[in-house]
Chains A and B, each alone.
Chain A
């Protein structure tokens, strides 16, 4: 029980009669990389937003990092990081200023911010660009930076919504190395993606169809179950059942 950082039971979200998320249940363990797959419009982002406290569930239960999504929303926020589909650093601020701002509102001590920022910039080899406006950076670097900012305050869980959309294969590989490093430090990673090769990197994946979770297991087990040679085939078999229009 103590190792379960995400516990979701029959979580549902209905928008004006449209059931975007239809009673999903799952658990994620500490340090796990959990892939949350599904076609466009399957309800992944909505489900993730409920877990992050951005969207109020219609019904069901969700305990994130030991806190209830209904009552302890703000406590959850101290313990999670989030990176959305949309790039969400300030383009008119520099790399350093962005880090400083987000670290500051998480209440990190100024001294700690300073040393950690220096360390991070060194790790990302962005020493030369540290005082450049973020809008001048190429997309791949921006994404890596956004991820680093999302885990700067050492959250228990980080939620990543299609973090590698539009990024080249090399940067994607770098990005996944960063995810592995984070997981090695004990940060649970909850990630949505459309790239099935990325799904193979996950410890466990779930596949959502029309607001419900249709399959959930390790990539290896799923491939055996569906007699497929890759996650791509597994996904195609499941996602084709979708009736909802995109």
Chain B
């Protein structure tokens, strides 16, 4: 009988006797998948705005009302003093200042033109950017309404206006959870798989059992497979729990087939676990391997295309993402879940992942040395 059987038995027994591992496998996915998507909402609400109204006219009042009733802004200061508003920005109480000049209304009617001034607190870049964009849209709409209401139709027709109507393919309601949850699930299994495998062999080094193993005629491939297979199965269990939660909590059911995702996940897990074992063979102790896997996870997550779009990265960074397994899985996951892609459509990332799996696991077997 193959020694592999005995190694697997031993690994499974140890895993199921470790309450920490069981907790990580079952509780972590539930908490992460329920809490994280709420925090990772891209829509920004509660932007604090300070309005300096030097006009105090009906028109300026209406604009202020339109802004505050949009739901995105919270009016924190309303005065006719710019310095006071600026103080709000200094104290971090206001994100935006909108200044409506004296004569706002009269200029609009008389000169058909007026200027408003917008100052943005750019400490929080995302908030500043989005806030300014929202505000510009609101002002533009207000402008259009004003034209329709005030200007004579005859003159208005002289100016051609292009209006854009967009429809969102594959995610018609632009529901961000559909976009984020599958990606977070990828991060989740990556984290669990990498951490568990990265501390495994190194733990045997610490307690000294590795020496006893190394003095047996065990084959290196058997040893690595014995470490890989149990976590591979656990990884697939975690994905299943993840899909269950996605369905129960968010109603997400992949448009494509689960089989496609599981096939890709099976290969993907080999890559991540192989990487963990590789770290584990090089590290001297658990701290070292945790630090290395944490470092890799940071890069994987930040360059994985979940929180920042890969297409908008500089070219060198896009090249880096080509070596990031997380980026491939997030891409595949979204394509299968939202677009319904099948095996044929994901052939290329699948082949790349297979290549990664082969190289990394071969490397892990080589780097595991029975003799120092």
Contacts and interface: CB of A to CB of B under 8 A. Distances in A.
Contacts of B6: 100-101, 104-105
Interface stretch (B115-123, B149-157, B211-219): B211-219
Contacts of B322: none
Contacts of A54: 211, 214-215, 370-372
B107 to A, nearest CB: 80
Given A78-B217, A93-B10, A84 B3 contact: no
B161 interface: no
Interface size classification for chain B: 20 to 34
B212 A88 contact: yes
Nearest to B218: A105
A59 to B, nearest CB: 15
A84 B371 contact: no
Interface in B172-215: 207-209, 211-215
Interface string A95-108: 00100111011110
Chain A contact surface mostly: loop
Given A73-B371, A97-B13, A100-B6, A84 B217 contact: no
A77 B208 contact: no
Interface size classification for chain A: 20 to 34
Nearest to B208: A86
A107 B216 CA distance: 10
A93 B15 CA distance: 11
B371 A102 contact: no
A217 to B, nearest CB: 29
A93 B14 contact: yes
Contacts of A97: 10, 13
Nearest to B369: A56
Contacts of B212: 82, 84, 88-89, 102
Interface in A67-119: 73-75, 77-78, 80, 82, 84, 86-93, 97, 100-102, 104-107, 109-110
Interface string B7-34: 1011001100110000000000000000
Contacts of B1: 104, 109-110
Contacts of B13: 92-93, 97
Contact of A53 (B9, B209, B371): B371
B112 interface: no
B215 A105 contact: no
Nearest to B206: A86
B135 to A, nearest CB: 61
A55 B371 CA distance: 5
B211 A55 contact: no
Given A56-B371, A77-B215, A84-B212, A107 B10 contact: no
B5 interface: yes
Contacts of A110: 1
B216 A105 contact: yes
B230 to A, nearest CB: 14
B215 A82 contact: yes
B208 A87 contact: yes
A82 B370 CA distance: 14
Q: Among B14, B217, B370, find the residue whose CB has the most chain A CB atoms closer than 10 A.
A: B217
Given A101-B10, A105-B216, A53 B5 contact: no
Given A56-B372, A107-B3, A88 B211 contact: yes
Given A55-B371, A56-B372, A93-B14, A101 B209 contact: no
Nearest to A101: B10
A84 B13 CA distance: 24
A239 interface: no
Nearest to B6: A104
A46 to B, nearest CB: 11
A231 interface: no
Q: Among A56, A74, A110, find the residue whose CB has the most chain B CB atoms closer than 10 A.
A: A74
A166 B371 CA distance: 28
A149 B234 CA distance: 31
A73 B216 CA distance: 10
A109 B207 CA distance: 28
B320 to A, nearest CB: 35
A90 B207 CA distance: 9
Contacts of A55: 371-372
Given A56-B371, A107-B3, A84 B216 contact: no
Contacts of A52: 215
Contacts of B216: 77, 102, 105-106
Contacts of A82: 211-212, 215
Interface string A46-64: 0000001111100000000
A238 B208 CA distance: 32
Q: Among A82, A86, A90, A105, find the residue whose CB has the most chain B CB atoms closer than 10 A.
A: A105
| Top 9 A-B residue pairs of the complex, sorted by shortest distance between their CB atoms | A104-B6, A86-B208, A88-B212, A82-B215, A77-B217, A105-B3, A101-B10, A78-B217, A105-B218
11 contacts: A52-B215, A53-B215, A54-B215, A73-B370, A73-B371, A84-B208, A86-B207, A97-B10, A102-B216, A104-B9, A105-B216
Given A73-B371, A92-B14, A102-B212, 20 more contacts: A52-B215, A54-B214, A54-B372, A55-B372, A78-B217, A82-B211, A82-B215, A84-B211, A86-B208, A87-B208, A88-B208, A90-B10, A90-B14, A90-B209, A92-B13, A93-B13, A100-B9, A101-B9, A105-B7, A105-B218
